Each structure stands twice: as C-alpha cells, then as structure tokens.
A and B are shown apart, each in its own frame.
Chain A
Amino acid sequence: MGRFIIALVAALWVAALPAHSATSQFKGLSVLSKELSARIAPEDGPIELDRFMPADGLDDLVGTWAAFGTEHKFQNGMPNAVNMVLLRLAFSGFAQSLAKSCKAPQLLLNDSFYDTLEAVCTWPSGEAKSEEVLTGFWLSLMGYDAPQEEYAIWRDFVLGAYAKKTAPEAIEAMTLALMLNPYFLLAQ
C-alpha cells in the first residue's frame, strides 16, 4: 500500500504545484483539527490531531502561531522534509483509527459522518464504491476546499488500486491520500 500512496501523493502534489505557489504554508494542526472537527466530529467531541503526533510538542514544527521577538508569527509553516514526515505519521495514525472504526469506534464521530463511514466499511461492495458514497466520504473530510478534479483523481485512484482490498486497507489509503492533498494541508 505504501508505494501506491507515495505515488498518489507525488502525483497529486505535482499536479497541484502550479496552483499552489512556493509561498504556500501549512494550515497548522490546530486549524486542521478545527476543520475536521466541524465536518466529522460531534459538537462536544472535537478531533485533536496532535494526539496522533509521534511525540508531545512536535505540533510546533508543522505550522503554529508563536512568539517571535516582540510579536507572534506563523512559524514552521513552509513544507520541508521533517514536517512532511511528521504530518505523514500523524495522518497515518488518524487514518488507521478511522479504518479500525469499522469494527469498533476509535474516534468520536458525528451521526452524518458515521453513516457515510458505515457505507464505506462495506468495501469492496458495490455500494461502497458508488459515486454517492465516495463523494460523501470526500466531502466529509475535505469539504469543498479542493476543486472537483481533485476528487476525480482520488476516486479513480481508490477504485483502481484498492478495488479488491479490504475495507480497513481501503479506508486507510483513502483517508491518507486525501489528507496529504495540498488542498487539505496548505493555506490558500
């Protein structure tokens, strides 16, 4: 699975490069957590992505507003090798939790997303691969942040490389590919 994901991420990244300027910065874990929470978590149970970071305090390395001189600046927001690895680890953890939630909930999810996830959990059934379910899954996590073409690339990847995989494998890959998309990661 790893090779597929890397290939997909590379493809998405390269495809998105002309649109995302060299000055685009990460949104930061705090913002991403808030966005995800609004989309898939219940009001009283927000998703804290820093929980999936490999160690405490590392969220400072993936984009944060912090004291700099006499003021606050957005720091460590430019993508580099270290913060990409950190995000990859955090998102993998989140994607695995989501994948495992088919059997037993690992995360607090709102009813709307739970219904969507339930449908995807029947993968590789035809229902799970339907346009409605895949769009629902994409929009639940990504919202409308990415153009429609991004969805189409992601859908084709999932329907191709993961057509016959198990639900946990497919969900983990779907989630990770989506979260590593620049439209999800970067401030526009």
Chain B
Amino acid sequence: MLSAVTSNADQDRSSGPLNATVERQVLPLSRDDTSPLSGWEKRWWIEKTARLLRAGEGLTPNDDIERLTKLPKAEIAAEFMRDERFGDTILDFNMYFLGFKVDSLRVDGAYTPSAFDFANAISSAKALLDNGDYLKLFDLEGDYYPAPLTYTPSEDELPPDEVKLTSRQLREKAVGELLTRFDKLRAAWEAPKPLAVEDFCEEIASINDSRGEISAELFRAFTDVEIFTLMRGGVPEAAYEALDKAENEECEKPEGKVDTRRLIETIKTASAQLKSAFAELSKFEPALYEPGSVAEFKPVDRSAFPISRTWLAFGFEQGTALANSSTNYNRKRAAYVLKRFFCDDLTPVGFEDPKEHIGGAHGSQTSCYACHYKLDPMAGFFRNNGALFADSSASADIVFDDLASMDRKAYLSAWRAPEGANRTWEVGYIRSPRWAEQNNYGESVGDLSKIIRDAPEAKRCLMKRLTEYMVGENQTVDGSYLDSLTSTFEQEAAQNSSIALKNAMLRILQTQTYQTRNPDPQQCYDYAPGTKADNRPPCRVAHILEKNCVQCHGGKDPLNPLDLSKWIDSPDAKGKTFPHLNSQNEQIPGSKTLQQIASRVSASDLKIRMPKNKPMSSQERQELFLWVQKELAKLQTE
C-alpha cells in the first residue's frame, strides 16, 4: 500500500481561481506551481486544505482521496468550498477577524450560542455562500441573528410549581404573566364598572413603579444573551416608557381633562408590541429552529420589536467585553475598532505633532496624545451608546457599564468639533492630526461602517488576518506580498467581494508558505511579483523600508551614507546591519545604525524625523520601530 502511495506521482497543475471573470488577475506564484509534489505530500496538502475549508474536519473514510489527488489544487479547493461546512470556516474566520474566535462553533453537531453572537460575521458568511456582499463584515449595523432559545434553569432555581415545566413552558409562563398585567389593566378600564380615573392612573403608575421586579420575573426564563436581545429590541422597556409618558402627561391633569382614550390606546399599543416581539422570539424555540448550517441561520424580524430601526452588530460578548465606563468615554470600543478593522495596535511611534496646543484629557501630554488623537474621534462614533451598546440617543442621561450616569448633553460636548472646523462633531477615522485631508470624518455608526468599507487599511487588515488564519499567526509574511494580495483583492472586490475573498484564499493555499511543512516563522516564503529577495533586509521590514525610505537611502546617492536596501554582515561580527559609512568611509557598527534609525523614526521634531516631509502610516512606523528595538535587544544579548 505504501509503495502505491509513494509511486503515485502528482502531476498537479494549479489552475486559476473560482470565477472566470477574475481568472486573469491571479497572482503568479513565487515558485514553480507546476512542480510535482510526492503523492504523500499532495495528500498532506489535501488533508490540510480539507481541514481548513471544512471547519476543522479533515479527510474522512468517505472522501475519495485517490480521485482528489488527480485534480488540480484549485479544483480541490473549489470542491471543498462548495461543501456546506465552508460556511462554518468563513464564520470562524470572521470571528477570528473580529477577535472572538472560539475552539469550535459546534458541540455535538449543534451551533454553540457564541456562533450567533457576531451579527456582521454571520451576515458576511451567509453572503459569501451566495457570492453576495462579503464586506458586510465591515458593517457595524444590520441584521441580528438570535441563537435558539437555550435557557434551562436548574431545579433549585425554581419554585416548586415550576420545577416540572419545560424550558419552553417556563418561557411561555413568564411572558404570559407580563402580558396578563397589561391585559388586566385594560380590562379594569373596559369592565362594565370601570375604575375611577384616579385609580386607573394609580394602576398604571404601579406598573411603572415596579418595572424592575416585573422585568426580573420575566427574565427568570431567559439567558443573559436572550435578555440582551430583548433589550436591544426595546422589550419590555419601551412598553414601560410609553406608559410612563402617557401617565405623566395625562394623570397630572385635572380629572375631567384626562384623556383616558390616550391612556387605553397606549396600553393596547404597548401590549400589542410585547405580543408581537414575543411571538417573533418564539420562532427561535429550539423545537422550531436548529440551523444545520450557516446558510440556515435566520435573522430576527426587527419590525416585530418596538425598536425596529437598524440594530448594532455588536453582540452580547462584545457588549460586555467592550464596556463603556464613565471615565473611558467609549475609548475601549474605539481601540477595538482600530485594532480589529484597521490592524492598528495603538503603539504610538513618532506621531505627527499637530503644531498647536491641544486641550482636554491628556491633551498636553505628547506621549498620551500620540494615541488619543485617533482614539477619541473614533470613540465619538459610539457617543450615543451607553451600557451594553444600548442606544441612549432619545434619553436625557447616558448610563455607563459601571452603572454611573451623566447628562447626555454634557457627555456629548466631548466630541463637539472646534470652531471653524466646518463640521459638528470631531468624530472620524484620523490618520493625521496635522493634515485633515487625510482623515475621514463622520457622525454615526453607519458612517463608520462606510469608512471601514472604503478604507484601504481595512482591506489590507482583512488580507493580513486571512493570511494569519491560514498559515499561522506567528508566520512572518512579506509586506510586498501582502500589499500585492490586497491590491488584487481590492480590484476583484469592486466587482464581487465574495469571489474576491475566495480567490484570495485560493492564492494563499498555493503559496510556498502554506505548502511548506513547518515553515520557519521568521522567514518569508512568498513575495510580490518582481521582488528580488536576495540580500534584502529581513522581510518583516524590507517592504516598509522600500516603501518609505529606500527612495533616498537606496545606495544610489553617493552622498547618502546609509543604504537601507541591503543587509550585510556587521563589521563588529555582531549580527547583520545596513551599509552605513562614517566620514572616513568606514562601516558604522550595527547597533549605532539601528539606534539612529529608532530615534529618527520615533522623533516628533520634523527637522530630524524620518521620512522627511513625507507621510508614513502609523502602523508601518510602529512595525519598523518595534523591529529595530527587537534587533537592538538581540545585539545586547549577543
């Protein structure tokens, strides 16, 4: 058997991507993609790819490996992508992109509640399966996908009369109790002998006064996540608010002036809204809803809820992890968006000094402002979202996750644009505190979604995360390769983002990095077409240097003593360094060169800061600076 396996020479020829319309745009592979792998190695690639594209499930005895080995790799991958488990892979990757990957989306075949918690990850995965708009991943508002209702209380949590109830019966009982309160209120007025207006008003007020206890009774039948969903839809809070408003406005009037019709209509409307919301939620009873694949995930009908306008994509876990406290003013949420959607880890290195005094928190501290210049305006997109991302735009106060509250007007003043700024809010994605034209300003979360969709940084971030997901988080990937992958993705995504993503995956599956067993994490295996890898600085930084520095420090100018395009042995025999000559034309020790690079890159004084009079992205500045620090630390230990 073994000899048969090894003698099965693989004549694989990797063909193009999945869609003929974009076939011509496939990046050439950096090694000869027609070179035959051994039979065993081809099988390894197939198994690894099966696992990747079928959500962790590798080859099974039902797979015809002999048939697969005869197919080109692109065709094998396409076959795996047609498998319904591919939807799980995309959802898993989307959750990885959002920073919330889990070990497994399913337990015993059923999806875990976590799989439903990231609405944009689901929308995007579903869209991809239909070759729709994959970039829904960047939408921070949209459809919402509740998990099948799951709450099963333990016996000791329940009173004796409820112990024998099933979970569904308990939910129906709790909902029934709430609805009965409203029905009783209406019945009290519509009875042949109705209550006096004063008593009727008191009955309404009593519901409002005890809304905490009433909600607690209702919530005993639901999980925290389910309560989160109810609250996002305004259940039961909107009903209380409507009653409260009507009662406050009518019951304060003299008895003959009270508009009892308004009161009764308010009760009816509130009751109808509650019934409609719970009827919609009951469609997620596990007996009725247990999706077997991502394609079967269904969104809740938001029109059945009092708050039916677009819901935020942030689910319960993000809601609790990204708390908005009374001191951080949404900065945690801003840092999350910058990190996850823009791959900006907020490591401040040589930011662009705004050349003017900046007031407010940390404003006078340059080192703090180096992050806050982008953090605070990003936080402003969430200025209407209080605890658990609850929408507080209609409230006088904002309630924070630390349970503090404050006047909303005073809170919003933190984001008022300065005079003469030509905009109301100082809210946006800020690339430079100095050159406003480089920035994208907006007002709402919807604007932020659009900014993310349009930002080249977000597409590059997506490709970076995709590469990490497929070849390993610690694997070094050449920047030129990543840029090239991004550029092709951007071109293709302009036509169809789902096909663009699948093609990007296909390209990564055929890289040398992916096809090498145990690749060295410090080594780059793939480069953009035309890149010469010999005698280059380490691939972690070579691309950054080429993009930002080599134009002047490329060894072509005899008057420029530093050449950042080459990587040579250091004259002091300590590691490697860049060619860098002193006034006597002698090579400067590597540590000195690196120290100078670090100080030039991190300087905020424009006279010494590099690159001179040229913008460099903060992400690249960070990466270069951190690499230099690492190299310096290495030299010190040698």
Interface residue from A21, A67, A71, A136 paired with B518 (Cβ < 8 Å): A21
B103:A64 contact, CB within 8 angstroms: yes
A74–B103 Cα distance when bound, in Å, is: 9
Interface residues in A10-44 by Cβ distance below 8 A to B read 19-21, 23-24, 28, 30-31, 34-35, 37-39, 44
A35:B56 contact, CB within 8 angstroms: yes
A70–B46 Cα distance when bound, in Å, is: 35
| B339 nearest CB neighbor, chain A only | A71
B47:A145 contact, CB within 8 angstroms: yes
Interface of A is mostly: mixed
Q: How many residues of B contact A (CB 8 A)?
A: 41
A67–B102 Cα distance when bound, in Å, is: 9
A54 within 8 A of B: no
A interface footprint on B43-71 (CB within 8 Å = 1, 0 otherwise): 11011100100001111110000000000
B364 within 8 A of A: no
Question: A39 with B60: in contact, given A65-B102, A188-B472 (CB under 8 Å)?
Answer: yes
B605 within 8 A of A: no
A113 within 8 A of B: yes
Interface residues in B392-413 by Cβ distance below 8 A to A read none
B interface footprint on A96-113 (CB within 8 Å = 1, 0 otherwise): 000000000000001111
Question: A110 with B61: in contact, given A34-B56, A46-B108, A135-B1 (CB under 8 Å)?
Answer: yes
A65–B93 Cα distance when bound, in Å, is: 13
Q: Which residues of B contact A24 (CB under 8 A)?
A: 518
A112–B520 Cα distance when bound, in Å, is: 36
Counting chain A CB atoms within 10 Å of each CB, the highest count among B2, B48, B57, B60 belongs to B2
A148 within 8 A of B: yes
B15 within 8 A of A: no
A70–B518 Cα distance when bound, in Å, is: 31
Q: Which residues of A contact B336 (CB under 8 A)?
A: 70-71
| A182 nearest CB neighbor, chain B only | B518
B80 within 8 A of A: no
A151–B2 Cα distance when bound, in Å, is: 10
Q: Which residues of A contact B48 (CB under 8 A)?
A: 145, 188
Question: A147 with B57: in contact, given A72-B102, A187-B472 (CB under 8 Å)?
Answer: no
B517:A188 contact, CB within 8 angstroms: yes
| A112 nearest CB neighbor, chain B only | B61
| B61 nearest CB neighbor, chain A only | A112
B40:A148 contact, CB within 8 angstroms: yes
A143–B5 Cα distance when bound, in Å, is: 13
Question: A131 with B59: in contact, given A144-B44, A148-B6 (CB under 8 Å)?
Answer: no
Interface of B is mostly: loop
A38:B521 contact, CB within 8 angstroms: no
- Give chain A nearest CB distance to B175 CB in angstroms: 31
Question: A21 with B521: in contact, given A70-B321, A71-B99 (CB under 8 Å)?
Answer: yes
Interface residue from B1, B40, B108 paired with A131 (Cβ < 8 Å): B1
A64–B101 Cα distance when bound, in Å, is: 10
Interface residue from A21, A65, A112, A131 paired with B101 (Cβ < 8 Å): A65
B58:A143 contact, CB within 8 angstroms: yes
Q: Which residues of B contact A135 (CB under 8 A)?
A: 1-2, 5
A118 within 8 A of B: no
- Give chain A nearest CB distance to B19 CB in angstroms: 29
Q: Which residues of A contact B56 (CB under 8 A)?
A: 31, 34-35
- Give chain A nearest CB distance to B602 CB in angstroms: 26
B interface footprint on A40-62 (CB within 8 Å = 1, 0 otherwise): 00001010000000000000000
Q: Which residues of B contact A38 (CB under 8 A)?
A: 57-60
Interface residue from A23, A145, A151 paired with B474 (Cβ < 8 Å): A23
Q: Which residues of B contact A136 (CB under 8 A)?
A: 1
Q: Which residues of A contact B100 (CB under 8 A)?
A: 71-72
A156 within 8 A of B: no
A145:B518 contact, CB within 8 angstroms: no
B332 within 8 A of A: yes
B1:A147 contact, CB within 8 angstroms: no
A71–B102 Cα distance when bound, in Å, is: 11
Q: Which residues of A contact B46 (CB under 8 A)?
A: 144
A interface footprint on B2-27 (CB within 8 Å = 1, 0 otherwise): 10011000000000000000000000
Q: Which residues of A contact B335 (CB under 8 A)?
A: 70
B101:A34 contact, CB within 8 angstroms: no
B251 within 8 A of A: no
B104 within 8 A of A: yes
A127 within 8 A of B: no
A70:B322 contact, CB within 8 angstroms: yes
| B516 nearest CB neighbor, chain A only | A188
Interface residue from B103, B340, B517 paired with A31 (Cβ < 8 Å): B103
Q: Which residues of B contact A31 (CB under 8 A)?
A: 56, 103
Question: A39 with B58: in contact, given A28-B103, A187-B472 (CB under 8 Å)?
Answer: yes
A187–B48 Cα distance when bound, in Å, is: 11
- Give chain B nearest CB distance to A14 CB in angstroms: 15
Interface residue from A35, A70, A147 paired with B99 (Cβ < 8 Å): A70
| A16 nearest CB neighbor, chain B only | B518
Q: Which residues of A contact B520 (CB under 8 A)?
A: 21
| A149 nearest CB neighbor, chain B only | B40
Question: A34 with B104: in contact, given A70-B322, A144-B47 (CB under 8 Å)?
Answer: yes
Q: Which residues of A contact B2 (CB under 8 A)?
A: 131-132, 135, 148, 151
Q: Which residues of B contact A35 (CB under 8 A)?
A: 51, 56, 58
| B114 nearest CB neighbor, chain A only | A72
| A151 nearest CB neighbor, chain B only | B2
Q: Which residues of B contact A19 (CB under 8 A)?
A: 517-518
A28–B518 Cα distance when bound, in Å, is: 17
Interface residue from B61, B101, B109, B517 paired with A113 (Cβ < 8 Å): B61
Chosen A-B contacts, 23 in total, with CB atoms closer than 8 Å, are A20-B518, A21-B518, A21-B521, A30-B103, A35-B51, A35-B58, A38-B60, A39-B58, A39-B60, A39-B61, A67-B321, A70-B336, A71-B99, A72-B101, A72-B102, A110-B60, A131-B1, A131-B2, A135-B1, A135-B5, A143-B58, A147-B40, A188-B519
Q: A35-B51, A38-B57 are in contact. List 7 more A-B contacts (CB 8 A).
A: A20-B518, A23-B474, A38-B59, A46-B108, A67-B321, A72-B100, A188-B517
The 10 A-B pairs at the shortest CB distance, nearest first, are namely A71-B99, A112-B61, A30-B103, A144-B44, A144-B43, A19-B518, A132-B1, A34-B56, A70-B321, A23-B474
A residues with a Cβ closer than 8 A to B are 19-21, 23-24, 28, 30-31, 34-35, 37-39, 44, 46, 64-65, 67, 69-72, 74, 110-113, 131-132, 135-136, 143-145, 147-148, 151, 187-188
